[in-house]
Amino acid sequence: MSKATKTLTEKELNPLASLDVWEDDLLDRYPDPNAIATAKDTETFRVYTVPARDGVKEFYDLNHTYQTYDFVMEKRADYLKFDKKEMTIMEAFEFLNQLVDDSDPDIDLDQFQHLLQTSEAIRRDGHPDWMVLTGLLHDMGKVLCLFGEPQWAVVGDTFPVGCAYSDKIVYSEFFKKNPDYTDERYNTKYGVYSPNCGLRNVHMSWGHDEYVYHMVKDYLPEPALYMLRYHSFYAQHKENDYNHLMDEHDHEMFKWVVLFNAYDLYSKSPVAPNWEELKEYYGDLLAKYLPATIKL
């Protein structure tokens, strides 16, 4: 928890009714161009995708104000030790599901269902099995909430810290409140970086993407790692506004990030996949790539 936010009430600190409100809001910003999901009953889906957006603006206000370069360094130093828990992946999914979305009780799709819908949509389209697995894992980092992190340090569009913020980032006006905005080490176009230094040398705002990337980085092929690490980096994969930090290799890999994003955003459906029918396939897939237990 950042010292700066200690005076806020619980509601002020976590203005979204659930983490999913952020993702639903993304659908308004980037609506589905050609409907990947097949199981959409139009009426049910309309109700599902248009909940109240209460708290989104307040959420970005906090995110943009408090995600400083120093905050990112602090969180990396803590979480990248991976000394909190050790469990099987299935136990980790159960742990993740303790994040209950009580804003949408009629729909009742938990975190795991979103992961499964994403991975199943990828599988239906015949992509490599490691990409299916990426779909299944991509939001695992949201367990950060269960370690007491506020919503603004778990979800939200991600962006580089340590250099000027793109005005293509949603609600970018709130960055004026971030101390880095007036810190001359961090507020120039390149800040602490150099032209086209490659994203591997760039620190992103802290959240579930960076965390899950580090969790599994030894086990999956590189395109999968890019998808995990940058799936919320909308200012680049949708807006192309950080080309000045990217190198050739990043551009190659971002083709995968763009491909993945469509499944993340547009695979949501009110119909839950049948886990009983799928668990053998996924059990084999997990065993093929991942060790018996992972560290959080």
Binding residues vs Fe ion (CB under 5 A): 139, 264
Quote the CA–CA distance of 139 and 171 in Å, as a whole number.
Answer: 23
| CB 273 within 8 Å of CB 116 | yes
Q: Residue 115 Cβ, how far from Fe ion at the closest point, in Å?
A: 7
- Gyration radius of the chain's alpha carbons: 18
Least distance to Fe ion from the beta carbon of 196, Å? 27
Cβ proximity to Fe ion, 174 vs 233, nearer residue: 233
φ and ψ of 127, to 5 deg = -80, 165
Nearest to 275 by CA among 55, 119, 71: 119
Which residue's CB is nearer to Fe ion, number 139 or number 250? Answer: 139
Q: What are the beta bridge partners of residue 86?
A: 295
Q: Please, what is the minimum distance in Å from the beta carbon of residue 111 to Fe ion?
A: 9
Nearer Cβ to Fe ion (180/264): 264
We find the least distance from the C-beta atom of residue 264 to Fe ion, in angstroms, to be 4
Nearer to Fe ion by Cβ, of 58 and 139: the residue is 139
Which amino acid type is present at position 276? E
Measured N-to-C along each axis, helices 248-266 and 111-124 cross at an angle, to the nearest 10 degrees, of 110
- Minimum CB distance to Fe ion, residue 251 (Å): 22
CB of 256 to Fe ion, least distance (A): 15
By C-beta, is 16 or 163 nearer to Fe ion? 16
178: closest CA among 170, 186, 169? 186
Between 25 and 264, CB nearer to Fe ion: 264
